[in-house]
Amino acid sequence: MNHREPSSPGAGAPLSGAGVSFVMPVLNERAYLEHAVASALAQDVDGPTELVLALGPSSDGTTALAERLAAREPRLRIVHNPAADIPVGLNAAIRASRYPTVIRVDAHSELSPGYAARALATLERTGAANVGGVMRADGRTPFQAAVARAYNSPVGLGGGSYHGGTKEGRAESAYLGVMRRTVLDEVGLFDESIRRGEDWELNLRIRQAGHTVWFDPQLAVTYWPRESWTRLSRQFRSTGAWRGELVRRYGRSNGVRFFAPPALLVILALAVVVGVLQLTGVLSGLGSVIASAVYLPLVAYAALVIVMALIPARPADPPRSPRERMWTLAVLPTMHLSWGLGFLMGVLRGAHDTVDTSRLGTRNTPLP
């Protein structure tokens, strides 16, 4: 089916042959950076390309690696991001870029072959301002594989289109994003006061300006999740806090799915209170029976987590190891409860200077 959904007059201007700028914020990514850079520079498009790294103050050797890569690759340039904030780095990289199409790349991800060419074709075909595809999480260890499976499932991250959607069309947001520079300049680039969820907020402004955000399931990006339980919990708590901040700022523009993790946390807290009151005898008789209904959602949730741990891998995926299945029992509640706790704190007091510390001081094993 040949979709055509022009955003606004002029938004669908031809982009073929005009050049592509990849932009990538980087902080403590020594284990992943070289693969991410290679996947971007290997993209075959009609026109010139460049990759601009927004380099934060890393402590794991990332800076030296980035400088070595830039020294031998003329298409690779570096701008510095001393504050290490993602939107600040993205804006610096975009301002330093030269071409009319901007493709965001995560240093913890790898673009599939043909990604850029397909995205450019989709931009021109639809007239969209921003195009995104599917985040395909993958893992090297049993823990990371369990996290990746949660990312790829509606149970893990709430069923956003870029976590496994198959239907092409208009979208609320776009994973990473392949964007028209003219539209970015029009709406004012990323909001530097938002440290997480900056892509959702940018896409909200793009849509409010009358442009189209488009999801193309044929676009795929491999994403490598956090490598340890502590880093995962810190990441999700920070992300939840900033979603809470976005709810404070934009209210009902946020989807209903964002409220599921905090609801789970509230139910869990109520269940603990009810349990204590029952054990101490404060709550008894019919009142105790009625109050016990608070346990039902938790029993259903526990059953869902167990099912997620037991279901077999898809035919195209590698077999699931017993350790990966065991980690699933911990990964899903960690993601949901950490995110829910952060969300409630963000809604109640704002995210303020909440920072995702899951990348600080990281020591990773290089990818094979």
Query: CA–CA separation, 157 vs 175, rounded Å?
Result: 13
Closest CA to 233 of 222, 224, 241: 241
Task: Give 39-95 pLDDT, tens digit per residue.
Answer: 999 999 999 999 999 999 999 899 999 999 999 999 999 999 998 889 999 999 999
Q: What is the tens place of the pLDDT at every residue in 261-309?
A: 999 999 999 999 999 999 999 999 999 999 999 999 999 999 999 999 9
Full DSSP string of 302-322? HHHHHHHHHSPPPTTSPPPPH
Please name the residues in contact with 75: beta carbons below 8 A apart, sequence gap of 6 or more. Answer: 41, 49, 50, 51
Name the pLDDT band for 11 (thresholds 50, 70, 90): low
Map out the domains of the chain with their CATH numbers: 20-225 (3.90.550.10), 248-359 (no CATH)
- pLDDT higher at 7 or 116: 116
Q: How many helices (H) and strands (E) does the chain have?
A: 13, 9
